[in-house]
Amino acid sequence: MTKIITPAWVKDAIFYQIFPDRFARSSRLQHAGLRFEDWDTPPTIYGFKGGDLYGIAERLDYLQSLGINALYLNPIFASASNHRYHTYDYYNVDPLLGGNEALRHLLEQAHARGIRIVLDGVFNHASRGFWQFHHVLENGDGSPYVDWFYFDPNRLQRKKPWGVYPHPKEEESLKKGEDSLTAIGYRAWWHLPALPKFNTQTPAVREFIFNVAEHWIRFGIDGWRLDVPAEIDDDSFWQEFRRRVKAINPEAYIVGEIWERADRWLQGDQFDAVMNYPAGEACISFFGRASLNLGEVRKAGYGPRIYPIDGREFLRRLTDIYTWYHPEIVHAQLNLFDSHDTPRYLTAVGGDRDAIKLGWLTLFTYPGAPCIYYGDEIGLDGGHDPECRKSFPWDENRWDRDLMSYLKTCIAMRKIHPVLRTGEFHPIFASEDVVAFARRNEQETLIIVLNASSFARDVTTPLGRFSLPDGRLATLLGTAAAYIKSGQFCVDGLPPRSGIVVGCQH
């Protein structure tokens, strides 16, 4: 049986996800003659705002002031799309982002501050501009790269033209569900012509991807976030990927974009963790239940799993998720509410800022590494793509200072108390609108109580599998009085739409 080991630093990580084109422009890059969209105009599907890696480096002090110590960057390699999931050169950072020297600079500046950097690895598909794919388009079955992708033999033998830029009839065929292999001449990810799917059964393709992964680990990155890795349906591929990466840096973080339960990939021989969307979905469903913007939520991949739930269902979900995996993996999960693939949390909960605070309090007290999507900390809103990819507003007059202050408090509390990073999770109490759970280790017990109702609430409940001595509990966050009386945990007057964290040393 594989021994399960995850990078030690991830348990202490506070992640911040950045969409590079939209976070910050640097004056260091002078793109003479190039035209970018105005920074503060609404985002578009095809337009570029001009954010770059030097801009991120220049804002590291800001990120450090929040308490951030790890960055997850959306793709940065050369691509003809603003999100850069259409990779055409895996060995070069996009020149619009500053090229390889900009990444080197960012890594040096971040590491000097103790900030790790995880890059987005897009290995399931490439782009129409990818050299090996283009080579086949030009040469058909005469190309030595013919086995790198999945091609229609008739197109390879020039009996039919390629549909890389499909004409209307081909587009209509795709919309009706025809396989891209026959409709346009090659297998494309989700039948999108811009994204030819790699044939990872070809040894040369596997070696190419493994070499890319190794190259950037040697360059100094701290890990890979793997884009749609389940669509490379091959355990041996990811086992070898892990072996290659960990041989260079055993502390490199490998986290997969799997939106559901992911036991198959979390046995210690493939990924360290996955993106914990289920926990985020539970928070949105409970804290935002009275104001859910279901119109926007339904556009996202997690949409069907978000709907109004009560506190009992919420705690049941959190407890269930906690039991899915080995404890080492549980504490390395990447916990998040929103991302470039979803409406922003603020929009999903209909603008309810109390729902954001309650969600953050849960995120920073639940097992796993919390991840904040850029701009959420200052109240940035936005519906589904492209609205969730707005430019960061660097005019501080537009910031929600109250939200930012609350987030800083949650981050500081997590950093001060190791129990919130590695302690056990214990469900304690749940009603229609109030939930309580504990984090516990040998040194300390903290109890988190969340009131999602519009009224003050009292709580009296047994602690369950553990006990604490009678007396007042110290308050770390919040205002209500909490104490132990005759073995019962009690809270008096927990304010509406708020939470508290209380506890004691053993």
Catalytic residue numbers read 227, 257
Decide if 297 contacts 306 (C-beta within 8 A).
yes
C-beta neighbour count of 441 within 10 angstroms:
16
DSSP for 315-339, written as a single string: HHHHHHHHTSS-HHHHTT-EE-S--
What DSSP state is assigned to residue 117? E
> Three-class SS string for 363-407?
HCCCCCEEEEECCHHHCCCCCCCCHHHCCCCCCHHHCCHHHHHHH
Farthest CA pair distance, the chain? 84
- Reference 472, options 492, 450, 499; nearest CA is 492
**What number of CA atoms fall less than 13 Å from residue 85's CA on the CB side?**
19
Going by their DSSP bridges, the two strands 498-505 and 444-451 should be labelled as: antiparallel
The three-state secondary structure class of 371 is strand
Decide if 326 contacts 373 (C-beta within 8 A).
no
Identity of the residue numbered 404: M
Identity of the residue numbered 439: R
The pair of structure tokens assigned to 278 is: 């289920």
Decide if 293 contacts 343 (C-beta within 8 A).
yes
Distance CA 490, CA 303 (A): 36
Task: Indicate the length of the chain as a whole number.
Answer: 506
The three-state secondary structure class of 311 is helix
Secondary structure element (H or E) that encloses residue 68, with its range: none
> Three-class SS string for 412-440?
HHHHHCCHHHHCEEEEEEECCCEEEEEEE
Identity of the residue numbered 449: V
Decide if 143 contacts 136 (C-beta within 8 A).
yes
CB burial of residue 418 (10 Å; 0-12, 13-18, 19+)? middle
Decide if 479 contacts 453 (C-beta within 8 A).
no
CB burial of residue 451 (10 Å; 0-12, 13-18, 19+)? buried
The pair of structure tokens assigned to 323 is: 């039991």
Name all contacts of 482-485 with Cβ < 8 Å and 24+ positions apart: 482/447, 482/449
Q: Could you identify the residue written with the tokens 């590079």?
A: 20
**What number of CA atoms fall less than 13 Å from residue 5's CA on the CB side?**
8
Which stretches does DSSP call E strand in 157-246? 223-226
